[in-house]
Amino acid sequence: MGVFPGTQVHTADNCVPALGDELAGLLEDLRGFHAGLDQICDGIQHLALDRLTIRQTQSVVTMLAGSTDPAGQQIDALALIAALVQRLLNADENPALRDLPAEVQDQARTAADELADHDAHYTPRSAIAKTVYELQPTL
């Protein structure tokens, strides 16, 4: 039986493509503000350019945005980022905000809480989880 172009995993015609303009632009725009954000960008770039297996793709996508846990209890990177934003916008946890007027502190905390609530209840994780489940290797 002959081999068709693109069917072998490690061939020149099946290489991992360069980053698209949108992702490359976002990574470029987000770098340089803080070392921690640079590390996040480096990790995202590494995931985007790594040659993943189907199983790895399933795992990575699930950990990024496909948690099937109940709302508010999701375990994925989206929930992690929402929790970080909550921490950073809470004067009790971020001393940089403590000298701001109380109403500004309350506004920041409320905005972060709304983001976390929206992420927990409205981010379409079930569609991602279903899609990831359906990514099955062909035999």
Type of residue found at 58: Q
In the chain, % helix, strand, coil (3-state, to 5) comes to 60, 0, 40
Asked whether residue 3 is assigned to any structural domain, the reply reads no
Does residue 70 sit in the same domain as residue 104?
yes
Cβ atoms 52, 134 nearer than 8 A = no
| 79 within a domain of the structure (yes/no) | yes
Contact indicator for 60, 123 with CB cutoff of 8 Å: no
Q: Tell me whether residue 1 is in a domain.
A: no
The model's pLDDT over 116-125, given as tens digits with 9 standing for 90+, comes to 999 999 998 9
In a domain, 78, yes or no: yes
Q: Is the pLDDT reported for residue 129 higher than 60? A: yes
- Is residue 73 located within the same domain as residue 102? yes
Q: Are residues 40 and 67 in the same domain?
A: no
Mean pLDDT of 8-35: 86
Residue 123 CB contacts under 8 Å (≥ 6 apart), including other chains: 65, 78
In a domain, 32, yes or no: yes
Provide the 3-class DSSP secondary structure of residue 32: coil
pLDDT in tens, 61-114: 999 999 999 999 999 999 999 999 999 999 999 999 999 999 999 999 999 999
